[in-house]
């Protein structure tokens, strides 16, 4: 999916994901899907932020933290299930919370609606990660 325009919704974005990506076993995790979508939203938001000198610093941190969510999920998944996976999901959780913080800091450069939407979407990712971490810690 190569697009120069921001998707209108999570569902629209998900429908545009490549078959190869959607066939990955990790794709079965709605939390992973939402983490990738949050990254794509951050990608487009960073374009707006980078137009302001102060926003450039925020954009650099935001894109790193948003990308780190799904990257840690991928790395942990590659190591198998259980406590090791839960540890990487914990890193992803920290990155999701950091992403929320960067969106809050960007509130002077992004619209209130955008900041509210991104923070609420990050809340969804956080809730899914917390649930999955609890499940994985129960596995050996």
Q: Would you say domain 27-137 falls under CATH 3.30.70.260? A: no
Mean pLDDT of 105-122: 98
Determine the pLDDT at residue 1.
Answer: 43
Average pLDDT, the chain: 93
- Tens-digit pLDDT profile for residues 25-74: 999 999 999 999 999 999 999 999 999 999 999 999 999 999 999 999 99
Contact (CB, 8 A) for 61 and 94: no
Residue 95 pLDDT > 60? yes
Determine the pLDDT at residue 29.
Answer: 95
CA-CA distance, 35 to 21, in Å (whole number)? 14
């Amino acid at each position: 999916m190569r697009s120069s325009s921001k998707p209108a919704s999570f569902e629209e974005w998900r429908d545009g994901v490549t078959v190869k990506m959607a066939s990955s076993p990790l794709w079965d995790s709605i939390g992973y899907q939402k983490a990738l979508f949050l990254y794509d939203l951050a990608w487009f938001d960073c374009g707006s932020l980078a137009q302001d000198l102060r926003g450039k610093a925020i954009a650099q941190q935001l894109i790193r933290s948003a990308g780190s969510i799904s990257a840690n999920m991928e790395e942990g998944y590659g190591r198998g299930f259980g406590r090791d996976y839960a540890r990487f999901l914990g890193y992803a959780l920290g990155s999701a919370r950091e992403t929320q913080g960067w969106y809050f800091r960007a509130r002077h450069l992004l619209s209130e609606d955008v900041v509210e939407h991104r923070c609420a979407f990050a809340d969804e990712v956080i809730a899914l990660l917390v649930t999955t971490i609890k499940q994985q810690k129960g596995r050996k």
